[in-house]
Amino acid sequence: MKHPWQQNKRYNSYSEYLKQTFGEKIQKLAVNAGFTCPNRDGTVGRGGCSYCNNEAFNPSYCDPSKSVNQQIEEGKAFHLKRNRRASKYLAYFQAYSNTYAPLSRLKGIYDQAMSVPGIVGLVVGTRPDCVDAEKLDYFQRLAENKYVMIEYGIESGYDKTLQRINRGHSFAQSVKAIEETAKRGIKTGAHLIFGLPGETREEMLNEAALFSSLPLDIIKFHQLQIVKNTAMAIEYAQNPGMFNLFSLDDYLEFMVSFVEQLNPDIVIERIAGEVPPRFLAVHPWKGVVYDQILQRFELLLEEHNTWQGRLVQ
């Protein structure tokens, strides 16, 4: 039997979630507030995550030399040009770790964003080791009147992988951050990457039960992409045999199997990542855009007559 929300889709989709939450079209506006990460500045490591180049997903209007207000207003204009019309917006602090600063600085940044007309909430991307009780209490107070989502880069449920990609934190830290955030009534999200070096298909599929057990509201899935100017791009050039990048067909079949085992209450924001082709060192899915990937995924669910959570006991 399908879940009640599956009247139109076979998975708990982010677009439907936004419609139910806000009752109208909502647009996320990326903001770069000039943060860094503890695995970049030497606190827990240097070089950052081996797969990461923030320029690959930072819109052109995002520039930390501009004020938060200016970036938001330019973001509105940017999306209007693309015919993405909305009257309400979420300020999306995406680049680097957006809680990696003293609370006094965070308050100035996020209070400013919340004061911009049309902004109905925040989405704050960060790391599990960059939150504490004081910061989460602040976001809890904000969430009493506005929509607030803390989005954690988890990437893997395996410590061996987290060490391999230079994350600088453990999965236990991820679990603690998610639980501490959720218990305060703050919307809680996570990122997960499939295809990281050393992980088997079985290990990746086992993460469905692992993440289903966590108090997550939203999850984003990404296939591993080899991005230029990263440590992983150098590793790939030196030894491509260490990597087993998904073909599009294999990835979609894998995602169907994964989603069948995923808690149906968790909203899926993305089923795959999308990097502008000019940033990619390798192009296994060349010429395919995200909307096409999503359509093929939805069609595959229908063909298999399955849905999110079908195999969850």
Distance of CA 28 to the CA centre of its chain: 13
Distance of CA 107 to the CA centre of its chain: 23
Kindly report, residue by residue over 7-46, the tens digit of the pLDDT.
578 999 999 999 899 998 899 999 999 999 999 999 999 9
Stretch 66-75: mean pLDDT, rounded? 92
Kindly state the tokens that stand for 305.
């007559």
pLDDT at 174 over 50: yes
**Phi and psi dihedrals of 242, rounded to 5?**
-75, -15
E strands along 111-223, which residues? 119-126, 147-155, 187-194, 218-223
Report how far apart, in Å, the C-alpha atoms of 287 and of each of 19, 142, 221, 251, 282 are: 30, 41, 20, 16, 12
Long-range contacts of 55-61 (CB under 8 A, 24+ apart): 55/229, 55/279, 56/227, 56/228, 56/275, 56/276, 56/279, 57/94, 57/275, 58/30, 58/32, 58/94, 58/95, 59/30
pTM: 0.94
Residue 199 near residue 160 (C-beta atoms within 8 A):
no
Report how far residue 272's alpha carbon sits from residue 178's, in angstroms, rounded to the nearest whole number: 22
Residue 61: per-residue pLDDT: 81
Residue 1: per-residue pLDDT: 43
Residue 90 near residue 148 (C-beta atoms within 8 A):
no
End-to-end CA distance of the chain: 12
Kindly state the tokens that stand for 16.
């439907």
The least confident of 80-94, 181-195, 274-288 is 80-94
Report how far residue 124's alpha carbon sits from residue 108's, in angstroms, rounded to the nearest whole number: 14
Using CA atoms of 206, 209, 211, 215 in order, give the dihedral in degrees to the nearest 10: -170
Q: Do you know the residue count of the chain?
A: 313
pLDDT at 136 over 60: yes
Residue 85: per-residue pLDDT: 72
